[in-house]
Structure 1
């Protein structure tokens, strides 16, 4: 079978979907991954997959550029003689879905989160909802990573059938194995992982760090991830004041998890399922995160971590205080319970099997005429 995967990042494929690609090639499928070339595609070739560079602006709002992307997807469908198309993230879901419709090729879409364009009310939400409604009309299956995103799509009559839930991207519980809990009793280290941006809660983290380090000098707050300009300026200010340590970007978060006692994820971003939390929990680290979709599913409150009020540094500080009141043995048990939960409920192998099974359900969808979509062959 010829399989075409459309997504917005090759790095994302390596981090979250490589096992799926490996499964497909092991089954003898011819797999092509189309994404912007933000990483070396050589790793794909070593497992027998092909790569097609499809550059586009993730947050661009140029209709002409989006039409070109749709035409590129249609051309790739023809060139690869695709039997099934898998799409991930907003633009590939929309323009890949429209291209697959016009080519009469079955396609499976994954909603990896609403994104700010959909979550925030306004003209962009209206436009994106309408595009989604059209693009998903004939999808073989639409996967959601949490019930809140699914309910939004149903409430807005984007789609009401052929819907399935999946455990996010899952987590490779062998790559993210349980790490020994840090034995150092003289310091407690908290870790922020992810893009350093307002929507990810970095400002609440910094404010909580300032509050807690003033009360508990034996605590450390660390930040790992690439950042936007305004937030990096704030990071520099807090680092100069001795409140946090900023480590920049990394390709491997495991060394930072190894020395951390707790991962803090105060996100407000409308994500599908937090990979930061899944990977941290798999590593046997307790969690503190926002009580919102994509986070609350991963945390059993006061058993594997704590849930806090969105955009509330005081609520975050209170949860950190609760964690600090635990003994090392209790903190260790919390981390172990978190790993047991993700192994039980979020193992990536189960997600891979779910997606791989779609190949046996291929059917020919009703197509929208190509001339109506203005898609070039």
Structure 2
């Protein structure tokens, strides 16, 4: 049962609601319409619940010290591949553009190149910044397009510029941690044949004054990838795999990176997870609660990306949206009639066990199953008489758990 809010809690919520802008209130109504009153209230409460472990102090203690970074700069690897960072840029605020480029220049691993495709050639401020950095560092390269070709084709032009053995994807207003490429190359020392790698990430406010929402990812999990693009940033892939996969496809705009990651991992041998927060995704904190249906085209593109992946891999499955847009369910048809084992632990619970077995028989249309009862040191005669009765059923097996 939920507790009644304290007087202090009521005051805190009252102050919070007073600060809400009309825009935020409108978003709240859209959320309520999408999720319903009950689910909306749960999500709202979770959103304003204080973090169990505040991320800000943890992050400040977690990032490498300047001494550590200096040690990394002096490290000589046996295997030092050139890494090309592909950046499609369009009407990028020059402050963000500078910060993105600077995040490459301060990398502790130096064998990189930055390939920027500028799809806004009439933007004189961007031109000036790009020319300045390319003149100061030969690793910073850019080219101008005559017009904006869209995120997919702009990125493909950046891929075409790349000379590296590996290519990494970076958005034009995001940042890499200074040790990002070092950690990538470090793990490649023990896995030189790896074809694709991805890292953990977090979000950072527009002003770069607060990091939040860390995303600590699992190792490569195809089933999870089929339900959500958990890989996202920072994704680094061997250029030969990019060429084999075919780059970005504009028909998947909105989920072009999701489709690309599927095709790369399908063609990759080893896919590695670098369990370090090395990518900072710039976003306004309030934007994480925007209208969930405002980018329905992107969620539809994500669904089509999964369907295309299933078709390429010869996997039968029906893809559907979940209530949380951006997350999907793949329903796989049952192949043949595999045996299903139902395991039921029990101690002295004759009536409960009987109800469980009766419900299984009543509600299960599938017949190829067995029931394994794990007998956990029962003491009543009643349960042992019931076990003897059940022993006549060939589907039921009794397994005794010793003390």
Structure 1 length-normalised TM:
0.29
- Structure with greater strand share of residues: 2
The higher relative CO (CA closer than 8 Å, separation ≥ 6) is in: 1
Say which one has the larger Rg: 2
Structure 2 length-normalised TM:
0.28
